[in-house]
Structure 1
Amino acid sequence: MKLPEYVKRILGMLAVVTALTVMWSLSYWITETLYDAIHTRPHEFGRLLINSILGFFLFGCSVFLITQIKWVKNRQDRFLHPMIQAMKMMAEGNFNIDLSYYRNQFNDRGDHPYYKIIDSITHMADRLGEMEEMRQEFISNVSHEIQSPLTSISGFAHALKNDSLNPKERERYLHIIEMESVRLSKLSDNLLKLTSLEDDHFTLDREEYRLDHQLRRIILANEPQWTEKKINMDIDLEHVTVHADRDLMDQVWTNLIHNSIKFTPEQGTISIRAFAQTGGKVMVTIKDTGIGMDHDSRMHIFERFYKADESRNRHLGGSGLGLSIVKKIIDLHGGEIKVESELGRGTAMIVSCDTNQVTLNKGGEGEKDEQR
C-alpha cells in the first residue's frame, strides 16, 4: 500500500529527529567518558559546545555511511545516471531527450530537487533543439540563396564561350550575370547587417532629425521605379521630429517602399502617411494596392528568408531578408511594426514608436501631395 505524501514527510522528519537524538546522546556519552578518563571537566558552556560539534560530526558521518549502502546508491544512480546521460547527449548535439518517466516517479512534486533538475534539463533540451532547427534551416536557406545565382552565373559564363553567339544574346547573358552578381552582393550585405544588429554590443547612433524630410527624400530617390510603373504616390507627412538612428531608419523606409513598389501593379497607388500622436507616439503607414497576402503569409512575413508565394513572384527577386532587418531595427528602437493585408486587396505596413523624444512642430498642419 502506497503511503500518502504527507505521511512520508512526517516519517522523514521523525527519522531525522531520531537520528539527531541518537547522535547527541552518543556524543554526550563519549565526552563524559573522556572527562572521567582525564579527570578534567570543562565549563558548562564549553561542554555544550563540544557536544554540539561532536553531535553534528557524528550525524554527518552517519548520513555519509547511509549513502554508501548499496541499495541507497542504486536508488540515487537510478535517477542521476539518466540525467548525466541526457547532458552527455546534449553535449554531442542530440536534443531528442525524454525524461518524463523519471519525472513521473516524483508524482509531479515540483519542490523535489530531482524533479526540478529533470524539468530544467528537459526545458533546456527543448530550447536547444529549437535553436538547432533554426540554425539548420538558416544554413539551408543561405545555401539555397547562394546556389541559385551561382548556378546562373556559371551557366551563362559557360554559354559565353560559344563563339556563335550574336552580340544581342551575348549582351543579354552578360546582363543576367551582372544582375545575379548584384543579388549575391545584396545577400552578403543583408547577412552582415543582420549579424551586426543581433550583436549584444550593438548601439544605436541616435540623433534628432525631421522624419518627414527623411521619408520625402527616400520617396524621391525611388522616383524612377514608381514612375516607370506609373504608380500614384499619395503622400501626407506631418512635420515630425524624431530621435533615432538616421542610417538604420533609412534602411527601414527604403525596404518598405521598395516592397510596395515591387508588388504594386502598374497605375496602382501607394499611400504614405506620417503623423505624431498624443503621448509621444509617431506612426508611419505605407499602404499599397498591390497583390496583398493571405493569413499564412502575414504570420511569417518577418521571418528570415520567407517569401510569400515564391513561385508566382520568383521574377521579382529578393532574398527574403529585407523585412527581417526592418523588424530588427524597429525592435532596437523600441517600436512596433504591424501588417494589414488581404489577398488581392493590397498591403499596409504600420510602424509605430513610443518615445518621449518625438515632437510635433506646431508651425504647420502637415503637407499633402499626390504625385504620379
Structure 2
Amino acid sequence: MKQGPGFLHVARNVILVSLALFACWTAAFYITKSAYAYISWNPHDLISLLINAMLGFIFFGLFIVIIGPLVKGREYDFLHEMIQALRSISRGDFRVNLDSDFVKRNGRPGHNHPFAELVDSINDMAANLKVMEDLRQEFISNVSHEIGSPLTSISGFARALKNKDMDQEKREKYLTIIETECVRLSRLSDNLMKLAVLDSSEHASHKTSYRLDRQLVTLVLACEPQWDDKKIDMNVELEEVEIFADEDLMIQLWINLIHNAIKFTPEGGKIDVFLSQSEDKVNVRITDSGPGITKQDQLRIFERFYKVDQSRTRSMGGSGLGLSIVHKIVEMHDGTISVFSEPGEGATFTVQLPVRSA
C-alpha cells in the first residue's frame, strides 16, 4: 500500500510557509512605515493594514519565483529528462534507462519519491518494447528466410525448364520440386494466418462439451495412411473423457502433435497416445520413438520458427510453426504443455487441460 505524506512532513511545510509569510509581512510593515514617514502621511489603520497585506503577498510571490527554481530545479531537469526519454521511445529508440540516483537522493527516508514509480515504469516499458521489437525483427527475418528459400528454388527450376533440349524425366523431376515448394509456401502461409488469428484479441472461441476420446480416435484413424505407410505401431489407450473446449482448435492441436510424431518416427517405429482424467484435469501424452530432443532444444522448441534440426526439418517440409500453434492453443484453454526427451530415445509431449476452461 502506498504511504501518504507523513504528519511531520506536512507540519514542516506549513511552518516554513508561515515563516516565509511572516517575514514578508514584517518586511512590508517596516518598508511602508518608512515610506509613510518619508512622505509625511498617516493613513487610516484599515488602509495601512490592507497595504501591508498586499505588499506582503507581493514579496511572498517574488520570494517563490526566485527560490522555487533553486529548490525544484533538479526535479524540473529530471522531468525534462523523462520527457526526452518518452520522445525517444515514441521514435522507436527503446534503449532508454533513466537514472534512479535522482529519486534516491531526493526521496525522504521511509518514503518513495513521487518520481520513483514513474521512473521504474518508463524503464520497464522501454525494456519490454525492446524485447518485442527484437522478436518482431527476428520474426520478419525468419519469415523472409522461409519464403525466400522456396521462391529461389521455384525461380531456378522454372528458368531451367525453359531449356527445350531437356529430357522428359528431368523435366518431370523439376516440376515435382516446384510443386513441392509451392505446397510448402502454401503451408507456411496457412500457419502464419492461423497464428495471426490466434494472436488477435478479437479471436472468438466457440467452446462446447464433447467427448475428447472420440475426437482423438477419429484423428488417429484419419492419419492412418501416414503411419501405416511407415509401418508404425500405433498404440492408443484412451479413457472416456468429456471436455469443455473449442473443438476446432483442439483438432488443430492434436493433428499437429500426431503429425509431428509420425514425421520424426522412423519406419517400423512406435507411437503411443494416452488419455486420462485426474479430478478436474485432462492429461494427454503422445510418445514417439524418434531421434529425441536435446535439453537445450527443449527450452526453445515452442518458439516460432525454431527448428531442432534445420536441414532435416526443411527436407521434411517443416516451417517451425506447428508447435508454436499448439502452445498458443493450449494457453488459450488455460492448460500447459511440456516435453520430455533424451537424445536417441524418442520424445513425449504431455498436454494438461482443465475439464472446463474459462
Tell me which amino acid in the other structure corresponds to 1:348. T
1:258-277 CA deviation, whole Å, 9 max, x = no partner?
00011111111000011222
What are the superposed Cα offsets for residues 60-102 of structure 1, whole Å, 9 maximum, x if unpaired? 9578525654x44643343223222222211111111232365
Letter in 2 for 1:19: V
Q: How is 1:154-169 mapped onto 2 (pairs within 5 angstroms)?
A: 154-169=155-170
Q: CA–CA distance in 2 between the matches of 1:59 and 1:130?
A: 54
**Which residue of 2 is the match for residue 339 of structure 1?**
339
TM-score scaled by length of structure 1: 0.80
The reply to whether residue 14 of structure 1 matches residue 24 of structure 2 is no
Partner of 1:327: 327
Q: Is the 8 A contact 1:236 1:272 kept in 2?
A: yes
C-alpha contact 2:245 2:356 (8 A) present in aligned 1: no
Q: Tell me the equivalent position of 2:79.
A: 80
- Cα 1:261–1:80 change in 2 (3 A) is same
User: Residues of 1 paired with 2:312 and 2:232: CA distance?
Assistant: 21
* Aligned pairs, number: 332
Alignment of 1:84-103 (within 5 A): 84-100=83-99, 102-103=101-102
Superposed CA RMSD in Å reads: 3.3
8 A Cα contact 2:313 2:319, kept in partner? no
Q: 1:291 to 1:105 in 2, by over 3 A?
A: same
| Superposed CA offset, 1:138-197 (max 9, x none) | 110111111011111111111111112221111111111111111111111111111111
* Separation (CA, whole Å) in 2 of partners of 1:334 and 1:65: 59
Structure 2 gaps, min length 5? 1-6, 30-42
The answer (yes or no) to whether the contact 1:106–1:115 under 8 Å persists in 2 is no
Structure 1: runs of 5 or more not aligned? 1-8, 40-50, 358-372
The 1-side partners of 2:191 and 2:154 are apart by 20
| Structure 2 residue aligned with 1:140 | 141
Structure 2 counterpart of 1:242, one-letter code: I
Q: Equivalent residues in 2 for 1:276-315 (5 A)?
A: 276-278=277-279, 280-315=280-315
Residue 181 to residue 123, structure 1, CA distance change in 2 (3 Å): same
Q: 2: CA distance between counterparts of 1:12 and 1:66?
A: 22
Q: Partners in 1 of 2:44 and 2:336 — Cα distance?
A: 78
TM-score of the superposed pair, with normalisation by structure 2: 0.83
Matches of 2:173 and 2:58 in 1, distance apart?
91
Amino acid at match of 1:143: S
Cα pair 1:146 1:184 within 8 Å, conserved = yes
Question: Percent identity between the aligned chains?
Answer: 46
Q: Residue deviations 1:240-284, cap 9 Å, x none?
A: 221111111111010000000111111110000112222x21111
Q: Secondary structure at the match of 1:106?
A: helix
Residues 79 and 102 in structure 1, CA contact (< 8 A), matched pair in contact too: no
Counterpart mapping for 1:258-269 below 5 A = 258-269=259-270
The one-character-per-residue Cα deviations of 1:197-232 (angstroms, maximum 9, x if unpaired) are 111122211112221111111111111111111110
Q: Distance in 2 between matches of 1:59 and 1:309?
A: 79
Alpha-carbon distance change, 62 to 327 in structure 1, aligned in 2, over 3 angstroms: farther
Q: 1:126 to 1:34 in 2, by over 3 A?
A: farther
Change (3 A) 1:201 1:58: farther
Aligned equivalent of 2:273: 272
Matches of 1:107 and 1:77, distance apart in 2 = 13
Aligned to 2:32: none
Per mean C-alpha deviation after superposition, the further-off stretch among 127-136 and 348-357 is: 348-357
* Bigger RCO (CA 8 Å, 6+ sep): 1
**1: CA distance, partners of 2:47 / 2:100:** 57
2:211 corresponds to 1:201 = no
State the distance in 1 between where 2:185 and 2:211 align. 34
1:59/1:172 CA distance change after superposition, 3 Å: farther
